[in-house]
A = this chain, B = another copy of it.
Amino acid sequence: MAEVSDIQTRIQEAARIIIARYGVNNATIQAIVEEAGTSKGALYHYYRSKNEVLYDVMDASLKESTRVAQKMHAGARPDEVLHYITSGLDERFDKVDENRLQFYLAHEAMLGNKELKSKFARKYDEWIGRVEEMLLGIYGVPETSLNRAIAAAAIATVDGMVMQDLLGVGIISKEEALKVWEIILYKVLPFILEDIHKQELMDGKTKDR
């Protein structure tokens, strides 16, 4: 039924390749249809505009991100999760084109693209929720009012590191970044979560919701 290599799919993949290879600014319709081995007319048969093509690429890209996130279910032991995260980060740093694409999408979203913005919001929501679960599952601490904020901060750190990488800052290597994450995962997070928990018990606080 579903053709594996139908024209729409070929266009989407071509767009992804062209953006990755030449950047979004040079991703012209002409370049995309040439890469896809089809014609402008065909493209406009499946898409209403160039933006729709980009949205499609973006959808696929965000779905892929989510797919990766879903692999990190609340596994049992920290070392397993560390392994997931480590290899995940490893991969993410290597996917230069994918990262560039994501930043392009973020750019578009910031410019006021409502649909994109809500997609991003959902994506981050899912990511952050998943990391929060992991915090609970791995470190076995009860919820604190800051678990969610800490999860968001962790994700922010990854995004920021990737951005530095794309900008060619080159001050910390992937290896150093992974060492820092090792410390965060093995030492900082257990320490901090325990600390917050104690603090909140002393304050007589229970979880906010």
Contacts and interface: CB of A to CB of B under 8 A. Distances in A.
A159 B163 contact: yes
A156 to B, nearest CB: 3
A141 interface: no
Contact of A156 (B109, B121, B163, B196): B163
Nearest to A104: B107
Contact of A121 (B109, B153, B168, B188): B168
Given A22-B111, A125-B169, A157-B153, A106 B176 contact: no
A128 B160 CA distance: 13
A160 B155 contact: yes
Contacts of A149: 172, 176-177, 179-180
Interface string A99-143: 010011011011110000110110011001000000000000000
Interface residues of A, number: 55
Nearest to A199: B183
B157 A111 contact: no
Nearest to A156: B160
Contacts of A184: 153
Nearest to A183: B192
B146 A180 contact: yes
